[in-house]
Amino acid sequence: MLDVGTDAPTFELENQHGETVSLDSFAGQPVVVYFYPRANTEGCTVEACEFRDARPQLEDHDAVVLGISDDPVSDLAEFADDYDLDFHLLSDEDGSVSAAYDSYGEKNMFGNTFDGVFRNTYVLDGDGTIVAAYEGVDPEGHADEVLAEL
């Protein structure tokens, strides 16, 4: 995990609409950058829907949510449509941004080894400094945990 108090790596990625989203475009606002393994899977859906449902409270803090996975844009578009997700879901297909945030690497599942995204979250202040870091997040209740930090 990246350390609290350090500057968050900047990035530009495509969202579920095929639009380029830059972290720098949210300067002056708190940003929640959450990494999740796979769109339309149980835990990732719970986590995404909790952030969707917390939108009014997040807006009270002027906070932006950015969800990042290594899914292609088309999968993110379907995921957003299926669950009315009204925040940016960003496609990091090569895992480079996730890796820059120590949220990508070797995983083991059902006896198979592969590279993938780890379920981690960072909260950034308006200057892009990491003010909170959550490793190996439990999707249930995580949005409330982040709100408490804000």
Q: How far apart are CA 59 and CA 45, in angstroms?
A: 21
Q: What are phi and psi of 50, to 5 degrees?
A: -65, -40
Nearest to 149 by CA among 118, 127, 122: 122
d(CA 69, CA 116) in angstroms, rounded, equals 9
Determine phi and psi for 113, rounding to 5 degrees: -110, 135
Catalytic residue among 44, 76, 123, 124: 44
Active site residue 44: yes
Closest CA to 88 of 58, 43, 60: 58
Question: Are the C-beta atoms of 61 and 150 separated by less than 8 Å?
Answer: yes
- Residues known to be catalytic: 44
